[in-house]
Amino acid sequence: MISRAKSAHLFPSLLAKPVSLIPGQLHAAVVSKVLNSVLAGQIADGELDFMSGRNLRVEVMDAAIQFTLSFDGERLLRGNTGSPPDLIFRGNVYDFLLLAARKEDSDTLFFQRRLKIEGDTDMGLAIKNFLDSIEIESLPYHRQMDGLLNRGVSLYERMT
């Protein structure tokens, strides 16, 4: 049984059911399109080359969402769901929001087992280092993203 403290920041189950009915390929298409736009500079600089030809599965546990991404050397795209992922990155919506909004350090989230990595540990470390190296202020739309992420975090915190 999940304690009150742990369940306080879970995605509402009434929303999780309809969201989980959306195919993972659609989630991957939307996420890859957004990331390609936001991370265009990093992609052009070769910072995601470590992902070339590899599959990353993202599992958002409390929202019952999972999708696979890969990198073809030029852009992120829907991954090959027919082959096993090289890395699985798991967490809940709130913890992914905290990570994206820089409200919580990635090491803290991993050591507290709120974010989990399974599979190729070198790829996992490369993704963690990549995420840590991103300078939010250098990203396009960073002000809009910052506002949106902070509102998401605040919403979750008010739900407790």
| Nearest Cα to Cα of residue 113 among 6, 31, 20, 8 | 6
Question: Does residue 141 sit within a domain?
Answer: yes
pLDDT tens, residue by residue, 14-44: 777 888 888 888 889 999 999 999 899 999 9
- Residue 1, domain member (yes or no): no
Q: Are 97 and 149 in contact (CB under 8 A)?
A: yes
**Could you tell me if residue 6 is inside a domain?**
no
Domain assignment present for residue 133? The answer is yes
Position 144 scores a pLDDT of 67
pTM, to two decimals:
0.82
In a domain, 26, yes or no: yes
Q: What H or E segment, with its residue span, contains residue 57? A: strand 55-60
Separation CA 51–CA 93 (nearest Å): 23
Q: State the residue range of the domain holding 55.
A: 12-158
Domain of 143, CATH number, reads 3.30.1050.10
User: Please, what is the end-to-end C-alpha distance for the chain in angstroms?
Assistant: 18
pLDDT tens across 64-94, in order? 999 999 999 999 999 877 889 999 999 998 8
pLDDT digits (tens, 9 = 90+) for 39-55: 999 999 999 999 999 99
Asked if the structure places residue 7 within a domain, the reply is: no
The count of structural domains within the chain is 1
Whether residue 64 lies inside any domain: the answer is yes
Residue 91, SS3 per DSSP: strand
Tell me, what's the pLDDT at 12? 72
Residue reference for tokens 């929303």: 15
> Percent of the chain scored above 90 by pLDDT?
41
